[in-house]
A and B are shown apart, each in its own frame.
Chain A
Amino acid sequence: MAALRPVVGAVRLGGRAVEGATLATVDAVLGSRAATEIADRVVDSALVRHALSRALAGPLVEELSREVVRHRVLERTTDTVLSGDALDAIVERALEEGVVERAAARVLDGPELERVLISALESPAMERLVARTIDSRLVDDAVAQLLESEELWVVVEEIAQSPAVSDAITQQSMGFADQVADGVRASSRNADAWLERAARRALRRRPAELSPETGEP
């Protein structure tokens, strides 16, 4: 056996040399333009499409899905995407392309949002939420702050002084009797002034000094 050792060593050495030469040959073949051309032609061929179609129609997809799940491929891919700059780039690109605006317009124009809102508003949960909000101290505080704000009273004053409100109140409160009384009052005050002027003229007394605002003494 000892005499065979050199022979065994020579065979192993030769095998390694053959293996190295084979790999070098394969590398050279794969790196060649011909190999690239062959690969392109194979991929573009109808055979590949046919094989792919058969594979997708068969149980391969389910098997592949199980393998994807088993090896946590999706989680690893998501982690890779989230940890890198790819996500930022995707978001940036989406914003530049106006995806957000289009999505918002679609949501606002579509019936989905209305359905969701109606469903939410009619739900018992929303009624409970509104009831709790009204009962809460938050509303009391908001009302108190509103009453303390100067702006509210400015608004109240503006509304109260507005001609529309004044006219409405006047129209509402003035009945027929008031209108007649208004006319009689105006006439009687004119008669007052006339009678006094006549009396003062008759007695040659100076006229009374009239108030510029009221036209009366």
Chain B
Amino acid sequence: MSLAEGRPHASARARDRAQAVATRVHVDPAAQAAGPSYQGLVTRTIAFALDCAVINLVAIAVGLAVGLASSVLDLPSGVEKGLVAIGGLAWFFWSGGYFVVCWATTGQTPGDRLFHIRVCDARDFNPLPVRRAVLRIVFLTLAAIPLFAGFLPILFDDRRRGIHDMVARSVVVGTDPA
């Protein structure tokens, strides 16, 4: 008879205590007391650029594969135009879905993860709901249209929020302990 079978309560207690110890060890009370560390324009821009690179590298790889296949198959010009249109649409959904899925699940894109930052709800710091993640990517695009003026509030806002953050009620915080 194993220990877990023989003493389920003791095993559960031991597991709880192990988690309590791990929490005490790995969570810095000073960092918790200090509150979230809002991230600035430069850090976020570099992380965003990395994400754009990932998106475009994948898109280029897929586009190359499709282009090579279509060149071998000798498709009619109408079909090729259709493929281009489908490719553009796929790129649109791929790039939008990339951010929405990342923000709505872990709150981190690969670029955010590399820079130890996270997009989250401004009030409870949980990941954004899908609807607000979609809203955020839409307004992020809109904020870039007037010569990136929509991002300027990040420089002045106390919580370093851009227009898209204000609309989606999100903030970008660091994940490192202070």
Chain A: minimal CB distance from B87 (Å): 31
Task: Report chain A residues within 8 Å CB of B18.
Answer: 153, 156
By secondary structure, the B interface counts as helix
Stretch at the interface among A15-23, A73-81, A192-200: A192-200
A8 an interface residue at 8 Å Cβ cutoff? no
The A/B interface has a contact count, at CB < 8 Å, of 96
Chain A: minimal CB distance from B161 (Å): 11
Scoring A137, A148, A189 by chain B CB atoms within 10 A of each residue's CB, the highest score goes to A189
Chain A residues with CB under 8 Å of chain B are: 137, 140, 143-144, 147-148, 153, 156-157, 160-161, 181, 184-185, 188-189, 191-193, 195-196, 199-200, 203, 205, 208-209, 211-214, 216-217
Q: Is the CB of A195 within 8 A of B24?
A: no
Q: Is the CB of B21 within 8 A of A140?
A: no
Chain B: minimal CB distance from A182 (Å): 9
- Measured in the bound complex, the distance between the Cα atoms of B24 and A160 in whole Å is 10
In the complex formed, the residue of A with least CB distance to B30 is A213
Task: Report chain B residues within 8 Å CB of A156.
Answer: 18, 21
- Measured in the bound complex, the distance between the Cα atoms of B18 and A157 in whole Å is 9
Interface residues of B in 1-57 (CB under 8 A from A): 1-3, 6-7, 10-11, 13-14, 17-18, 21-22, 24-25, 30-31, 33-35, 37-43, 46
Task: Report chain B residues within 8 Å CB of A185.
Answer: 43, 115-116
Q: Is the CB of A153 within 8 A of B21?
A: yes
Task: Report chain B residues within 8 Å CB of A212.
Answer: 34
Chain A: minimal CB distance from B101 (Å): 22
- Measured in the bound complex, the distance between the Cα atoms of B18 and A160 in whole Å is 11
Known: A148-B14, A213-B178, A217-B160. A140 touches B43 (CB 8 A): no
